[in-house]
Amino acid sequence: MISRPKGTNDLLPDNIWRWQKLEQLIREECARFNYHEIRTPIFEETGLFQRGLGEATDIVEKEMYTFDDKGGRSMTLRPEGTASVVRAYIENNLQGTGLPVKLYYLGPMFRYERPQAGRYRQFHQFGVECFGSSEPSLDAEVIVLAYSIYTKLGAKNVQLKLNSIGCPNCRPKYLEKLKEALKERRDSLCDNCRKRSETNPLRVLDCKEKDCQPAIAELPRITDYLCDECRDHYGKVKSILKLWNVEYVEDSRLVRGLDYYTKTVFEFLVESLGAQNAVGGGGRYDGLVEEIGGEPTPAVGFAMGIERTILAVGDSWQKDPDVDLYIVAIGDTKDAALTQLKLARDHGLKAEMDHLNRSVKAQFKQANRLNAKYCLILGPDELANNLVKLRNMQDGEEIQLSLNDWLGGIK
């Protein structure tokens, strides 16, 4: 027996309704915010992610599913959505459709990570990307869009963390200071942080190793080094969030895993999820479009992890009944049942009947198992008089209706 690859999941009917509900809410909310769906390929040329995400990121260094195709080209299963959307934005000249261009995507992502609860090798993200404006109102908008989805889902205790990581004008100065401070504390850092101190010093700030924390607490804060433009931008994002009554916590250690961010970065956390408690995050990336070969274009976006978001919702959702109507055929009434089944479905009811020659008692049991709201009972004597019975499965009440008119009885 071959089993599914490590770190992947089969989404089964007893859970997929949660996904569908979340996806529906996402689509409705995106429509309210005027974001439009884009679907890009699941694999791209490897270079796109190397250039877009940065060589010294965890994803590019060790987590990509990269393979040579039969033509000898290096391809990679997308580990995240932004680089592909940026590529598609440039390649399809979407800037010509009018700025800002507001896009969203939903789909599987692939990272070769060590699987654990809430961390998979194939997982799913919903994300939005907004191109063509450097206005802080759009940073706030993507945050509010995510916030609004978490709120409407009923996900409890979602915390929004906010920071600014500056821009190519002010960050280099900070990085110099940071590197100096890291050098002084080299002996108090884990191996990974020592390496990161050279290759990607910002990432040391979000190291989770307990032993590194005292040293990290002493490191300089990026928010003390922001240039006027970045400070002003950050201030405006915060004041718009206040205007919209969005609660946030500032965290000067929040840096996010990817190189492309500028200015605003944010993350949504749900403490109760344990180690994998980030349910989404994002930020501004004003340099990425140019990096990938387009015109200089400011942009901002975020991505939400679908699996973790569903975990955060827990059991607070009620599943809709599987069927509105179950048709119970007594004796030799199967043809009549088939006719009524088609009629019910043609009229938009979710309808089912027995296909296993069950006894009448077992048919009712099956109707209960499917949470049917009504049973249409077809007995040979009643049918001979063009009559049927309709049982309300909630209160057990039965009424007799004409065979030609029972649909009206339901409505």
Site residues (CB under 6 A) for ligand AMP?
Answer: 80, 111, 113, 118-120, 123, 125, 257, 278-281, 303, 305, 307-308
| DSSP reduced 3-state for 396 | coil
89 or 266, CB closer to ligand AMP? 266
We find the least distance from the C-beta atom of residue 123 to ligand AMP, in angstroms, to be: 3
Between CA 376 and CA 385, with CA 381 as vertex, the angle to 5 degrees is 85
We find the least distance from the C-beta atom of residue 153 to ligand AMP, in angstroms, to be: 14
206 or 382, CB closer to ligand AMP? 206
Q: How does strand 351-353 pair with strand 325-329?
A: parallel
118 or 298, CB closer to ligand AMP? 118
Q: How does strand 101-110 pair with strand 36-37?
A: parallel
Dist CA 310 CA 53 (whole Å): 27
We find the least distance from the C-beta atom of residue 264 to ligand AMP, in angstroms, to be: 14
117 or 338, CB closer to ligand AMP? 117
115 or 220, CB closer to ligand AMP? 115
Dist CA 50 CA 202 (whole Å): 18
We find the least distance from the C-beta atom of residue 268 to ligand AMP, in angstroms, to be: 7
257 or 298, CB closer to ligand AMP? 257
Nearest to 314 by CA among 18, 112, 11, 108: 18
We find the least distance from the C-beta atom of residue 76 to ligand AMP, in angstroms, to be: 15
Amino acid at position 187, single letter: D
Q: How many CB atoms lie within 10 A of CB 25?
A: 15
Q: How many CB atoms lie within 10 A of CB 96?
A: 8
Dist CA 313 CA 171 (whole Å): 37
We find the least distance from the C-beta atom of residue 276 to ligand AMP, in angstroms, to be: 7
We find the least distance from the C-beta atom of residue 308 to ligand AMP, in angstroms, to be: 4
Judge contact between 367 and 393, C-beta under 8 A. yes
DSSP H or E segment with residue 348: none
257 or 287, CB closer to ligand AMP? 257
Instruction: List, in sequence order, every residue forming a beta bridge with 353; answer none if it has no partner.
Output: 327
280 or 294, CB closer to ligand AMP? 280
Dist CA 302 CA 89 (whole Å): 16
Nearest to 316 by CA among 10, 21, 12: 21
DSSP 224: G
Residue tagged 């840096």 (tokens): 255
We find the least distance from the C-beta atom of residue 60 to ligand AMP, in angstroms, to be: 12
Torsion of CA 355, 360, 362, 364, to 10 degrees: 100
Residues in the chain: 411
279 or 323, CB closer to ligand AMP? 279
* Residue 301: partners with Cβ closer than 8 Å, 6 or more residues away: 82, 85, 127, 128, 129, 130, 142, 282, 283, 285
We find the least distance from the C-beta atom of residue 203 to ligand AMP, in angstroms, to be: 12
120 or 147, CB closer to ligand AMP? 120
We find the least distance from the C-beta atom of residue 237 to ligand AMP, in angstroms, to be: 18
Residue number closest to ligand AMP, CB atom: 305
